Structure 1
Amino acid sequence: MKNVAIIMGGYSSEYQISIKSGNVVYKSLDRSKYHPYRVHILKEKWVMVDDDENEYPVNRHDFSVDHDGHKVTFDVVFNAIHGTPGEDGLIQAYLELLGIPQTSCGFYQAGLTFNKRDLLSVLKPYGIKTAVSHYINQGDVIDIESILDKVGLPCFVKPNKSGSSFGISKVKEQEEFMPAIEKAFKEDSEILIESFLDGTEVSVGVINYKGEVKVLPITEIVSENEFFDYEAKYLGQSQEITPARIDDDMSAKVAEIAKKVYQILKMDGFSRSEYIIVNGEPHLLEVNTVPGLTEESILPQQAREAGITLPELFDNAIQLALRNK
Structure 2
Amino acid sequence: MKKNIAIIMGGYSSEYEISLKSGNVVYDTFNKEKFNAFRVHIFKDKWVYVNDEGQEFDIDRHDFTVRTHDEKITFDCVFNAIHGSPGEDGYMQAYFELLNIPHTSCSMYLAALTFNKRDLLSTLKPYGIKMAESFYLNLGDTVDEDAIISKVGLPCFVKANKAGSSFGITKVHKKEQLQNAIDVAFEEDDEIIIEEFLDGTEVSIGVITYKGETTVLPITEIVSDNDFFDYEAKYLGQSQEITPARLSDELTHKAKSVAKRVYDILKMTGFSRSEFIFKNGEPHLLEVNTVPGLTKESILPQQANAAGISLEELFENAIAEAMNN
Instruction: Provide the TM-score with structure 2 as the length reference.
Output: 0.99
Partner amino acid for 2:97? E
1:190 positional shift: 0.2
Q: Deviations over 1:271-310 (max 9, x none)?
A: 0000001110000000000000000000000000000000
Distance 1:321 1:274 in 2: 24
CA distance in 1, matches of 2:93, 2:125: 26
**Residue in 1 that maps onto 2:259:** 258
Aligned-partner residue type, residue 210 of structure 2:
Y
- Alignment-derived partner of residue 79 in structure 1: 80
> How many matched pairs?
324
Q: Which residue of 1 aligns with 2:168?
A: 167
1:194 is displaced (CA, Å) by: 0.2
Per-residue CA deviation, residues 246-277 of structure 1 (Å, 9 max, x unaligned), is 01111011000000000000100000000001
Q: 1:207 aligned to 2:208?
A: yes
Work out the CA distance in 1 between the residues paired with 2:162 and 2:23: 22
Partner of 1:65: 66
In structure 2, the residue matched to 1:245 is 246
Instruction: Name the counterpart of 2:300.
Output: 299
Opposite residue 130 of structure 2, the aligned amino acid is K
Structure 2 CA distance, aligned partners of 1:47 and 1:132? 43
Partner of 2:22: 21
Letter in 1 for 2:89: D
Equivalent in the alignment of 1:320? 321
**Identity over the aligned pairs, expressed in percent?**
68
What amino acid is the match of 1:312? E
Match of 2:38 in 1: 37
The equivalent of 1:134 in structure 2 is 135
> Which residue identity is paired with 1:26?
Y
User: Aligned ranges for residues 101-116 of structure 1 at < 5 Å?
Assistant: 101-116=102-117
RMSD after superposition: 0.4
In 2, Cα distance between equivalents of 1:288 and 1:28: 22
Gaps of 5+ in 2: none
- Unaligned ranges ≥5, structure 1: none
Distance in 1 separating the partners of 2:235 and 2:156: 23
CA distance in 2: counterparts of 1:99 and 1:191, whole angstroms: 34
CA distance in 2: counterparts of 1:77 and 1:235, whole angstroms: 29
Alpha-carbon distance between aligned partners in 1 of 2:59 and 2:98, rounded to the nearest angstrom: 17
Q: Which amino acid aligns with 2:196?
A: S
Distance 1:167 1:122 in 2: 23
The TM-score, its normalising length taken from structure 1, stands at 0.99
Per-residue deviation, residues 155-198 of structure 1 (Å, max 9, x unmatched): 00000000000010000000000000000000000010000000
| One-letter amino acid of the structure 1 residue matched with residue 51 of structure 2 | D
The alpha-carbon deviation at position 69 of structure 1 amounts to 2.4
Aligned ranges for residues 254-293 of structure 1 at < 5 Å?
Answer: 254-293=255-294
CA distance in 2, matches of 1:120, 1:174: 25
